[in-house]
Amino acid sequence: MERLIDPFARRITYLRVSVTDRCDFRCSYCMDEGTQFLPRADLLSLEELDRLCTAFIGLGVQKLRITGGEPLLRRNVMSLFRALSRHLETGALRELTLTTNGSTLAPHAADLAACGVKRVNVSLDSLRPARFTAITRRGDLATVLAGIAAAKAAGLRVKINTVALRGVNEDELIDLATWAGAEGHDLSFIEVMPVGEMPMTDRAATFLSLAEVRARLSEHLTLSDLPETTGGPARYVRAAETGQRIGFITPLSHGFCDSCNRVRISATGTLYPCLGQEGGTDLRGPLRGSEGDAALLDAIRTAIGRKPRGHDFAYGLSGASGQVGRGMNHTGG
């Protein structure tokens, strides 16, 4: 099987594919209230997304994550999961996963499990109903918790993703870790990144280094480093008291670019080789320009050949540097 190798000898085995830029939340660190969504006609069809993913799998991608926006808002999205499940059955694809805000997870959980999805990531930044609604500007905590419970009941492993925000939720990060451990969920903390068009002064003010978070957790839990990885950017520890894994995703305080094995595709078919760089490559043109995949495969190889060494994210006294203007809902989470 042909492999994708970038200019820095990193093998690309992990693809994140956005199926929509739409979301029913407006999380304060992620999207502006006035975000304008793309016309549906601009999005790749589900059949085109299947063809695109299949091309990457043929080039050695082993892990595929469906993202958004909120991916479960995409009409008939389960048909894409059912189509992609054939690659799990043949062994060409090792893992098919999903990142969701959990708002509509409950009615889809059993179907996801039936398609071979083994685990899902759910974004959850607070266990306090009023604070959760304030952070998401839309969300209902009870609905998200019901979705998490439905996923667990369907046999899906759940990993909670929590963005650590100074002055916002830093006083309940230990509570979140304790709750996740009691529920049997792994948990990853994430540093807020300078992505999107919102004021960077606000983003810099809420930045909380995960080195500080880990130090606080260590006052309550016995943490030991783990060598294992799920193929993503997190560095994991084990909490002795609960047995859970806790991950730290540190794009700013402790970069992980040297081992980056992933690329992202937007819902419009743009390949972004780096979350923290502006450059992208259009794959929609070659995808639609021919019934065969030769031009598409060439475009993919060319794009991987442009993957940079890393991002330029940083926060300083004057705010953020390395800012990327496109929103996370457009890039794909």
Spell out the residues 6+ positions from residue 194 whose beta carbon is closer than 8 angstroms to its own: 200, 203, 204, 313, 315, 320, 321, 322, 323, 324
For residue 330, give the H/E element and its range.
helix 328-331
Nearest to 187 by CA among 197, 196, 200, 178: 178
> How does DSSP classify residue 261?
-
CB atoms within 10 A of CB 108: 23
Closest CA to 249 of 201, 196, 311: 311
CA 159, 160, 166, 168: dihedral to nearest 10 degrees?
180
74 belongs to an annotated ligand binding site: no
53 is in an annotated binding site: no
What is residue 73's three-state secondary structure? helix
Q: Is 209 annotated as a binding residue?
A: no
Give me the helices (H) in 29-137, please. 46-58, 77-90, 109-114, 129-136
Alpha-carbon Rg for the chain in angstroms: 19
Q: Is 251 helix (H, G, I), strand (E, B) or coil?
A: coil
Q: Is 115 annotated as a binding residue?
A: no
CA dist list (Å): 174 to 34, 126, 198, 216, 239:
33, 11, 28, 8, 12
Binding residue per annotation — 118?
no
Q: Is 260 annotated as a binding residue?
A: yes
d(CA 309, CA 45): 32
213 annotated as belonging to a binding site for a ligand: no
Q: What CA–CA distance (Å, rounded) separates 20 from 248?
A: 27
E strands, the chain, where?
A: 14-18, 63-67, 95-100, 119-123, 157-164, 186-191, 223-225, 235-239, 245-249, 262-265, 270-272, 281-282, 314-316, 319-321
Annotated binding-site members for [4Fe-4S] cluster = 23, 27, 30, 257, 260, 274
| Known binding residues | 16, 23, 27, 29-30, 65, 69, 99, 123, 159, 193, 257, 260, 262-264, 274
What are the binding residues for S-adenosyl-L-methionine? 29, 69, 123, 193
Binding-site positions for GTP read 16, 65, 99, 159, 262-264
